Structure 1
Amino acid sequence: MAGQPEKKPQSVYDFSLKDATGNDVDLSIFKGKLNILIIICLVVYSGMTNSNYTELNQLYEKYKDQGLEILAFPCNQFGEEEPGTNDQILNFVCTRFKSDFPIFDKIEVNGENASPLYKFLKSGKWGIFGDDIQWNFAKFLVDKNGQVVDRYYPTTSPLTIEYHIPTTTTMAGQPEKKPESVYDFTLKDAKGNDVDLSTYKGKVLLIVNVAGLTDSNYKDLNHLHEKYKDQGLEILAFPCNQFGAQEPGSNDEIVEFACTRFKSEFPIFDKIEVNGENTSPLYKFLKSAKWGLLGDNIQWNFAKFLVDKNGQVSDRYYPTTSPLSMESVYLR
């Protein structure tokens, strides 16, 4: 069968496929050249098109010289959002988004005619509803040995994958090496002081993106903090104004609100972003560890991450989840 090796494939390097211009591409050409490989099924006409192409371009530009390659496979199986010819797809991708990564021949990723490459990829990592691809922009991360190491859902921002790319590049709040725990991060508190999260080693952390328009969450968080602060629980609050513009104030105003109105004593940090291009590196790490119901994005104010004593994310709670419901989890 076209694109399928005679023997059972052992890695993605065992496959040869056609690119969008009709040339045969033996994926073994990437062998030994890559630190990591992202394989994605993409489309032109989709609500997720702009953000995915823009972020894929950012990743590719930043890491292509450090061993990253992105392989894009057009697919028309989801909402018929990729009806065009290969020439039309190439023109759209290269003209509108200036993408430089390789675009391949249009394929099917599910069903009887699924590409042998995708059969291999799906057998390596299952999705939440089985092995089928759910929609456009599903992503597979492949290591330098050609093995699938992770699978990301269509709603997952490509920028979240950044933490799984081996690199020595630094950015604000991100360590030089790949972070292994929340203890690898240093962030500013609301007063502008650097806080090394390693100071919380050995404690259970509840990390929350907070905003001003709330009573129940602050009251419940205060209850947990007062009850368990001497037993090893710490609550870290990160103001964020991305949801309903409910946190528009300055750091001083936020601290005044939390400490005066609610008498909160837990640490309040500098205002950050938790979704999008400017997402705090800490939140990229948190979201990459635990998925939400609709992907990795934070849904609203007061999403919560529970971090164990080793700095690993042990659970994720939705904004509607009462902090008090975590009491039994913490006490286990």
Structure 2
Amino acid sequence: MNTVLHENLFEYSVLSNDGKDFSFASLQGKTVLIVNTASKCGFTPQYTGLEALYKEYASKGFTVIAFPCDQFAHQEPGTDSEIAQFCQINHGVTFPIMKKIEVNGKNADPLFVWLKKQAPGVLGGTIKWNFTKFLVGSDGITVKRFAPNIEPSELKTDIEQFLAKN
């Protein structure tokens, strides 16, 4: 797959969980936390923490965007509507959830190809597991990566630093 990489986050468009186009341009100037998620993972309870961050910082120019992914031990087998229902019922999620995607390999979503290039992890150009988190600054270029085992509450200092630059 020949992937065109954009200069910043706000040039990307993806499909939302309900199949509608979602343009990151609508988030211009916001700090964005992008997370690859799964409903049947040991880290799934992090949805609750992500929602808490979203509620705490949304009014300050912050949002969370979830990207369900079934590439890790088949831990996201549901349909897009089943995933949305699970997140809302079990974790009270109100932040945007996108269509299920791949984050590694030849079919990796271009956004995740870009994120991995901006903030390579321990394994370089791959994502190791569900709930890898990418914090993108309001400039759409600055990206900080967090491992799956980092709890959402541990991101508060970084989020506040990014928001201070808004």
Q: Same fold judged by TM-score > 0.5?
A: yes
Compute the displacement of 1:219 (Å). Answer: 1.2
1:200 equivalenced with 2:7 (yes/no)? no
Unaligned runs of 5+ in 2: 162-166
Say if 1:305 and 1:313, in contact at 8 Å, map to a contact too.
no
User: In the aligned structure 1, how far is the partner of 2:132 from the partner of 2:106?
Assistant: 19
Compute the displacement of 1:313 (Å). Answer: 3.5
For 1:237, what is the secondary structure of its paired residue?
strand
Higher Rg of the two aligned structures = 1
User: In the aligned structure 2, how far is the partner of 1:253 from the partner of 1:293?
Assistant: 32
User: In the aligned structure 1, how far is the partner of 2:59 from the partner of 2:105?
Assistant: 36
1:180 equivalenced with 2:10 (yes/no)? no
Moved over 3 A (4+): none
Compute the displacement of 1:216 (Å). Answer: 2.9
Compute the displacement of 1:222 (Å). Answer: 1.1
Kindly provide the amino acid, as one letter, of the partner of residue 235 in structure 1.
V
For 1:325, what is the secondary structure of its paired residue?
helix
For 2:39, what is the secondary structure of its paired residue?
coil
Unaligned runs of 5+ in 1: 1-57, 63-161, 163-173
- Provide Cα deviations, 1:87-117, integer angstroms capped at 9, x if missing partner: xxxxxxxxxxxxxxxxxxxxxxxxxxxxxxx
- Provide Cα deviations, 1:2-58, integer angstroms capped at 9, x if missing partner: xxxxxxxxxxxxxxxxxxxxxxxxxxxxxxxxxxxxxxxxxxxxxxxxxxxxxxxx7
| Alignment match, 1:233 | 62
1:269 equivalenced with 2:94 (yes/no)? no
| Alignment match, 1:249 | 78
Say if 1:304 and 1:318, in contact at 8 Å, map to a contact too.
yes
User: In the aligned structure 2, how far is the partner of 1:221 from the partner of 1:300?
Assistant: 17
The one of 278, 287, 293 aligned to 2:116: 287
Compute the displacement of 1:331 (Å). Answer: 1.2
The TM-score normalised by the length of structure 2 is 0.91
For 2:33, what is the secondary structure of its paired residue?
strand
How much identity, in percent, do the aligned residues show?
A: 36
Relative contact order higher in (CA < 8 Å, ≥ 6 apart): 2
User: In the aligned structure 1, how far is the partner of 2:102 from the partner of 2:95?
Assistant: 20
**What's the C-alpha RMSD, in Å, of the aligned pairs?**
1.4
Mapping of 1:1-332 within 5 angstroms? 178-213=5-40, 214-332=43-161
For 2:124, what is the secondary structure of its paired residue?
coil
- Provide Cα deviations, 1:119-142, integer angstroms capped at 9, x if missing partner: xxxxxxxxxxxxxxxxxxxxxxxx
Compute the displacement of 1:211 (Å). Answer: 0.2
Kindly provide the amino acid, as one letter, of the partner of residue 17 in structure 2.
A
Compute the displacement of 1:323 (Å). Answer: 1.1
- Provide Cα deviations, 1:217-259, integer angstroms capped at 9, x if missing partner: 1111011011111111100000000001000000000000001
Q: How many residues in Structure 1 have an aligned counterpart in Structure 2?
A: 159
Compute the displacement of 1:215 (Å). Answer: 4.3
